[in-house]
Amino acid sequence: MSASTLDYQTTGTDCWRLDTGLNRPGHTACYLLHDAGELALIDTGTSNNIKALLHTLRNLGFSPSQVRWILPTHVHLDHAGGAGALLDACDNAILATHHRGLPHLIDPQKLEQGALAVYGEELFARAFGRVIPADEQRCQALHDDDRIPLGRHELLFVDTPGHANHHGCFFHEPKGNLYTGDTFGLHYDALDHDGQAWLMATTTPVAFDPELWLKSLDRMMALQPKRVCLTHFGPLENPARWQPVLRESIQDHVNIALEEEREHDRQGRQQRLAVALMKQALSRLRRHNPNLDEEMARQLLQDDIRLNSQGLEVWLARRAKKRANQ
């Protein structure tokens, strides 16, 4: 990847996966869709990558004025941190996302504060840059089953809570592509083995809900997509084949968190969760690939494991508070 453009790869006809370069190559994507002269971007990456994204768009033969839709799957900053900046650069675009998340892109103060608490000031600045407020007059709140016109076709918005309560997926039925944000989990190309994909749940703070997530997977599979296009990272063919892998990972996270709650008090909880999650992930990976390079796997997983452990700690605290109020 050069400094001025994003690495991109064709994903089917009239769709490109753009690597935003966040954290490392092959970690965070957004998707550019083209239909009859109109463009949509599903997820945006951060403000830091918008200049390079626009260069890439031009290199592909398009102009910012062709962008009709900017469509974050949810408002976590790796997915939507650049939405306001991209909206400023695309004069004909509308920013549309889940109705629960949209207010946080119009006024991103709480979003920034939450991310600062997770990442710290130095890492926040390096990873996300400045979050530009979105112009409210050019925004649209989305609800379940809303249809978004693009060229000659439409995208279907599907409300998919579980990773976040403001998460939605976009289904492009003519191509069979389901753009899943984080609801189909995390996929690491380097950990695939012998044609078998390996997926891990993402339980980053603050709204993990395993019961809703499993229901969201049911809803997604009922659409019978040909492929799922993950923000982390890239497309997977035949998703019905792989969704049991993700379900197993979601249940693993739940089991680890509930065991932690039974066995320990809250002191040191996040660190213990991180150790247990890494141990479980490596155990699954050894079954998946007996010749696993464990050091490589640890390096790939460590940042996501840390965020997952923080999210599970929040989930347990939320459960405890709910019980106390009953």
pLDDT, average across residues 180-207: 95
How far is Cα 160 from Cα 66, in angstroms, rounded to an integer? 28
Backbone angles phi, psi at 17, to 5 degrees: -90, 120
pLDDT score for 12: 66
How far is Cα 163 from Cα 161, in angstroms, rounded to an integer? 6
Residue the block writes with tokens 């976040």: 164
Average pLDDT of the residues of the chain: 94
Query: What are the helix (H) ranges across 10-100?
Result: 50-59, 77-80, 83-89
pLDDT digits (tens, 9 = 90+) for 219-246: 999 999 999 999 999 999 999 999 999 9
How far is Cα 171 from Cα 154, in angstroms, rounded to an integer? 9
Q: Which H helix or E strand runs over 258? A: helix 239-263
pLDDT, average across residues 205-218: 96
Residue 295 has pLDDT above 50, yes or no: yes
Q: What pTM value is reported for the model? A: 0.94
Measured between its terminal Cα atoms, the distance across the chain in Å is 53
Residue the block writes with tokens 């064709």: 10
The residues near 25 (Cβ < 8 Å, ≥ 6 apart) are: 1, 7, 19
pLDDT, average across residues 189-204: 95
SS3 content of the chain, % helix, strand, coil (to 5): 45, 20, 35
The residue among 125 and 315 whose pLDDT is bigger is 315
How far is Cα 322 from Cα 313, in angstroms, rounded to an integer? 14
Tell me the C-alpha to C-alpha distance, in Å, between residue 63 and each of 53, 57, 276: 11, 7, 48
The residue among 263 and 11 whose pLDDT is bigger is 263
CB atoms near residue 252 (< 10 Å)? 18
pLDDT score for 137: 98
Residue 1 has pLDDT above 80, yes or no: no
Q: Which two tokens mark 164?
A: 């976040």
Q: How confident is the model at residue 114 (pLDDT cuts 50, 70, 90)?
A: confident
pLDDT, average across residues 245-268: 97
Residue 175 has pLDDT above 70, yes or no: yes
Residue 168 CA to chain centroid, in angstroms? Answer: 10
Query: Beta-strand (E) ranges in the chain?
Result: 7-10, 15-19, 29-35, 38-42, 67-71, 94-98, 139-142, 147-150, 153-159, 168-172, 177-181, 186-187, 199-200, 227-230, 234-237
Q: Are 117 and 219 in contact (CB under 8 A)?
A: no
User: Residue 211: is it exposed, middle or buried by C-beta count within 10 angstroms (0-12/13-18/19+)?
Assistant: exposed
Where do the structural domains in the chain lie, given as residue ranges?
7-237, 246-324
Residue 207 has pLDDT above 70, yes or no: yes
Topology of the domain comprising 7-237: Metallo-beta-lactamase; Chain A (3.60.15)
User: Bridge partners of 168?
Assistant: 159
Q: Count helices and strands (H / E) in the chain.
A: 10, 15
Q: Which two tokens mark 118?
A: 């997770």
